A and B are shown apart, each in its own frame.
Chain A
Amino acid sequence: MKKGKVTMIFTISIACFALTLVMFMQFKIVNETDITSIETMREEELRTELANWKQKYEETKQQYDKTHDKIEEYKEKKENNIETAVLVNEELQQSNILLGKTDLVGEGIEITIKEVQFDDYSRDPNEDFSKIQDSDLLLIVNSLKNAGAEAISINEERIINMSDIAYIGSTFIKVNGQRILSPYIIKAIGNKSYLESSLLGNGGAAEQLKKMGHDVQIIQSDNVLVKKYSGDINYKYITD
């Protein structure tokens, strides 16, 4: 009888010990599962990071090869004035394209925004909440750039690197210092479906204007003409 009791206590204590062990193990597992979930997240992040750097590397490599080829060409044609002229003028043309000094054509979209005047006298006449403002056009231009637009114009005013959109006295909009009026016709060259979808959908800059009651129309086209910047493009304060 006594012997049996000792055995029993012994067994139970072993069992208790085992149980505690299992419990601790469980705690450990819980901790570990937490860590693993963070790590899988990190892995995904690492993958995008890797893709990002790979792409940047490839791009730089391409650019380097291009520059290198050009150097070789210059060296080869150094003796020949006419061929050098061709090379230099090619480069100048490329610069002018990027600056906005040339008319460009290509596939893209045309957005027409007609401002709707509200003849509602209950509205405060000073309130320009319902009007199309500089920030609306700014957001559209920004969305188009994000979608890869290569050239943009608003009412034939070409958007260049230093273009501004100003809202003068809550009455009209100026682009490049030129007064523009409704209907606003924004032309953009780039992948037409990317460009269009960047403006539509929830939070899209064009969708927002539609919700406010303005008439917004987007046409996809294979032949959008974006005119060149009409003024002189130069600088005064950048030192040579």
Chain B
Amino acid sequence: MTKLKNSLVMGIMCCALTFGIFWQIRTVESSNVKVSQNYEENNLRAEVLKYKEKYDNEQKLLEKAESELEKERESATKTNSGLEDAEISIKKANKMIGLSEVKGPGVIVTLKDSPKNMVNVFNVANSVVHDIDILSVINELKNAGAEAISINDERLVITSAILCDGNVVRINKEKVGVPFVIKAIGLPESLAALERPGGYIEYLGKYVEVSLEKSNEITIPKYTGKIEFTYSKVK
């Protein structure tokens, strides 16, 4: 009887042990996979950093080349008054298109998610800044005569779209998160009309945190991407 009991216990033990050994083998295998994955990932990370650096360097070179081009253009058109006008027009156009940095008076609008306690809010989605909110603020600023606008230093150009992408918003395909700092150049007094009673800022203020600040010196960076038309032809 005891012998039977003993062998039964032993048998179970052996079973458990074998099981343990198999598990161990599996662990070893999976940790092998992990090592290679880590390796791959580190490689990828290094690669990303490499390209980031290459991009930064190239961007610096481009900036240099662009200012050189401007100088060349200037010196080439100096002798010809007709061409000088064209040269000035190009410079002016680049400012409006967004291809060069601009400065001037204007306003800074800051949009933040509501700090309210979410438990007491009926619909949480209402207290978060949405793409349509940003789109509307931008539209109002343009309506009030804004000449150049940037969102978190992403310059808005003719091809810029504002898109919700989960927790972030994409502008010029770049991820942009809260707080959204919208800078606009124009007459500060008319841009500040967004704050008027019944205006859009008052309406938005019910849901999210909005503030508007006038400034006499706003710098808006240039667009760092490229604007190229491939489908359209001049008629």
Contacts and interface: CB of A to CB of B under 8 A. Distances in A.
Interface of A: 8, 11-12, 15, 18-19, 21-22, 25-26, 28-29, 32-33, 35-36, 39-40, 42-43, 46-47, 49-50, 53-54, 56-57, 59-64, 67-68, 70-71, 74-75, 77-78, 81, 84-85, 87-89, 91-93, 95-100, 102-108, 134-135, 138-139, 142-143, 145-146, 148-151, 159-166, 189-191, 225-226, 233-239
Nearest to B231: A106
Nearest to B235: A103
B55 A238 contact: no
B52 A53 contact: yes
Contacts of A160: 158
User: Secondary structure of the A side of the interface?
Assistant: helix
Contacts of A89: 86
Contact of A15 (B16, B37, B58, B105): B16
Contact of A53 (B48, B68, B98, B226): B48
Given A57-B55, A63-B62, A189-B232, A161 B83 contact: no
A91 B10 contact: no
Shortest 6 CB-CB contacts between residues of A and residues of B: A22-B20, A146-B161, A95-B93, A15-B13, A164-B142, A164-B143
Interface residues of B, number: 94
Given A46-B45, A145-B160, A150-B159, A189 B231 contact: yes
B234 interface: yes
B116 interface: no
B80 interface: yes
A150 B232 contact: yes
B96 A233 contact: yes
Interface string B25-56: 01100110110011011001101100110110
